[in-house]
């Protein structure tokens, strides 16, 4: 029963309220609730700050596209002269990204570098030269979007690098059109 | 590559016949990555470092508009490309001016004329100047990206950087230069 304004709180009501609050606080402090009993299992994989670095995704994409460019140059000799400079650009970009990762995470290895250095399967590409060029252009467009997105939220130093790479990828699309 | 000189020169505001349209998802033309800059900048004052970078970028765009007039005089076979490039720089110049004014600062006026990096005497030297124009513009917009934490302003600058990189590649292609692309446009 609620007390009317100005009415003194009875001793019994005060003790009941204090007891309820104390019980709830005790449950909270011990991590228990009315609906659970056990602690959640500890994670088996713990992410380190280096693995959380968002540059890893950009390195992985660049490395994958570099492999696809290598395969395209091997499969499409007629367009090799046009594709080779683009491959050189992507290699230079990969080198710069890995250098930036190393600068920011001294002593760590980029996740993409560790997992993707030796490839175990062939890179699949379309059959015709036109389709191969289209696939390479599609890769450039995909990477351009990825680097553009990364530019918006990175540090100033990285944003300048990402923006420059995104612009380079825009020019790749243009020369392949 | 272009620096202001006190000598009188042609007017910069002559109308142009073609406007660079947004390429959206299209990839079939060189204009695929060239888009019309936003004309309604967000309200609010600009941070000092972002303002300084934007003013440098504006100066580069003003120089580009003037210098393409010189390119047009000698590379007449490339009139369509020149008109498209010049109109792109005109749009970006005006959008940049609007941003600076909206940000509470004063936009510098263009110089009457500029000293260019190469002596333009024929089509080849004119095409070299066109490449220098885009190299300068790319460098200026890259500095803007690295001078602000504002994602919207970074996006605006990135469009300018990408447009310049695409035009640079196109001019290299027309000139017969190789390679036509570079890995880090704007880095000098």
Assigned CATH for A49-176: 1.20.1260.10
Distances (CA, A) of A173 to A51, A61, B88: 31, 16, 19
Cβ contact B96:B51 at 8 Å? no
Subunit contact B154:A159, Cβ cutoff 8 A: yes
Task: Inform me whether the pLDDT recorded for B19 exceeds 60.
Answer: no
Q: Which of A158-162, B14-18, B67-71, B165-169 has the lowest mean pLDDT?
A: B14-18
Band (pLDDT 50/70/90 cuts) for residue B113 is very high
Task: Inform me whether the pLDDT recorded for B16 exceeds 50.
Answer: no
- Cα torsion for B99, B103, B106, B108, to the nearest 10°? -30
Band (pLDDT 50/70/90 cuts) for residue B141 is very high
**Cis (ω within 30 of 0) for the bond into B179?**
yes
Chain A residues near residue B187 by CB distance under 8 angstroms: 164
More confident residue, A51 or B108: B108
With a CB cutoff of 8 Å and minimum separation 6, the contacts of A160 are: B142, B143, B145, B146, B186
State the average pLDDT over residues B148-168: 97
- CA neighbours within 13 Å on the CB side: how many for A47? 8
Task: Inform me whether the pLDDT recorded for B18 exceeds 90.
Answer: no
Distance CA(B153)–CA(B99), nearest Å, equals 9
Chain A residues near residue B161 by CB distance under 8 angstroms: 163-164, 166-167
Choose among B146, B147, B180: nearest Cβ to A175. Answer: B180
**Consecutive H or E run containing B113:** strand B113-115
- C-alpha A7, offset from chain centre: 61
Query: What is the residue-averaged pLDDT of chain B?
Result: 84
- What is the chain A residue with the closest CA to B32? A174
- What is the chain B residue with the closest CA to A153? B151
What does the pLDDT read at residue B159?
98
What does the pLDDT read at residue A44?
79
Q: Closest Cα of chain B to A88: distance in Å? A: 8
Subunit contact A164:B181, Cβ cutoff 8 A: no
More confident residue, A66 or B22: A66
Cβ contact A163:A151 at 8 Å? yes
Distance CA(A154)–CA(A162), nearest Å, equals 9
Residue A168 contacts B, CB cutoff 8 Å? yes
First and final C-alpha spacing in chain B: 12
Task: Inform me whether the pLDDT recorded for B60 exceeds 60.
Answer: yes
State the DSSP code for A123.
P
Residue B162 contacts A, CB cutoff 8 Å? yes
Residue B41: left if φ>0, alpha if ψ -120 to 50, beta else—which one? beta
Residue A142 contacts B, CB cutoff 8 Å? no
State the DSSP code for A38.
S
Choose among A93, A152, A161: nearest Cβ to B151. Answer: A152
* Polymer length of chain A: 177
Subunit contact A151:B186, Cβ cutoff 8 A: no
Per-residue pLDDT of chain A in tens (177 residues, 90 and over written 9): 444 454 555 555 545 554 444 444 444 444 455 555 677 777 777 767 777 889 999 999 999 999 999 999 999 999 999 999 999 999 999 999 999 999 998 887 766 554 444 555 678 888 899 999 999 999 999 999 999 999 999 999 999 999 999 999 999 999 999
Cβ contact B166:B33 at 8 Å? yes
Task: Inform me whether the pLDDT recorded for B24 exceeds 90.
Answer: no
CB atoms under 10 Å from CB of A116, counted, come to 15
| Contacts across the A-B interface (CB distance below 8 Å) | 114
Looking at the DSSP bridge assignments, the partners of residue B115 are B3
Task: Inform me whether the pLDDT recorded for B21 exceeds 50.
Answer: no
pTM over 0.95: no
What domains are defined for chain B? Answer: 42-175 (1.20.1260.10)
Chain B residues near residue A150 by CB distance under 8 angstroms: none
């Amino acid at each position: 029963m609620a007390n009317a304004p100005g009415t003194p709180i009875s001793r019994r009501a005060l003790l009941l309220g204090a007891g309820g609050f104390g019980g709830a606080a005790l449950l909270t402090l011990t991590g228990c609730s009315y609906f659970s009993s056990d602690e959640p299992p500890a994670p088996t994989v713990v992410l380190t700050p280096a693995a959380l670095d968002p540059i890893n995704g950009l390195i992985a994409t660049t490395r994958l596209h570099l492999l696809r460019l290598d395969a395209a140059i091997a499969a499409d000799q007629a367009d090799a002269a046009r594709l080779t400079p683009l491959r050189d650009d992507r290699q230079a970009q990969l080198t710069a990204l890995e250098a930036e990762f190393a600068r920011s995470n001294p002593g760590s290895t980029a996740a993409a570098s560790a997992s993707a250095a030796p490839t175990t399967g062939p890179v699949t590409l379309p059959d015709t030269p036109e389709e191969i060029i289209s696939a390479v252009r599609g890769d450039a467009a995909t990477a351009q979007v990825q680097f553009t997105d990364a530019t918006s939220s990175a540090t100033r130093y990285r944003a300048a690098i990402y923006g420059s790479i995104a612009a380079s990828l825009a020019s790749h699309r243009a020369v392949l059109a | 590559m272009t620096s202001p000189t006190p000598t009188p020169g042609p007017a910069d505001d002559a109308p142009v016949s073609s406007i660079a349209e947004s390429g959206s998802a299209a990839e079939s033309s060189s204009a695929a990555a060239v888009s019309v800059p936003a004309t309604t900048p967000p309200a609010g004052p600009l941070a000092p470092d972002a303002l300084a970078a934007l003013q440098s970028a504006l100066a580069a765009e003003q120089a580009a508009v003037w210098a393409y007039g010189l390119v047009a005089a000698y590379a007449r076979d490339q009139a369509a490309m020149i008109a498209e490039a010049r109109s792109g720089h005109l749009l970006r110049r005006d959008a940049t001016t609007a941003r600076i004014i909206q940000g509470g600062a004063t936009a510098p006026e263009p110089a009457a004329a500029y000293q260019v990096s190469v002596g333009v005497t024929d089509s080849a030297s004119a095409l070299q100047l066109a490449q220098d124009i885009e190299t300068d513009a790319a460098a200026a917009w890259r500095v803007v990206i690295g001078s602000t934490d504002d994602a919207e302003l970074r996006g605006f600058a990135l469009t300018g950087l990408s447009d310049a990189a695409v035009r640079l590649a196109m001019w290299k292609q027309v000139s017969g230069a190789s390679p036509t692309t570079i890995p880090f446009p704007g880095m000098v």
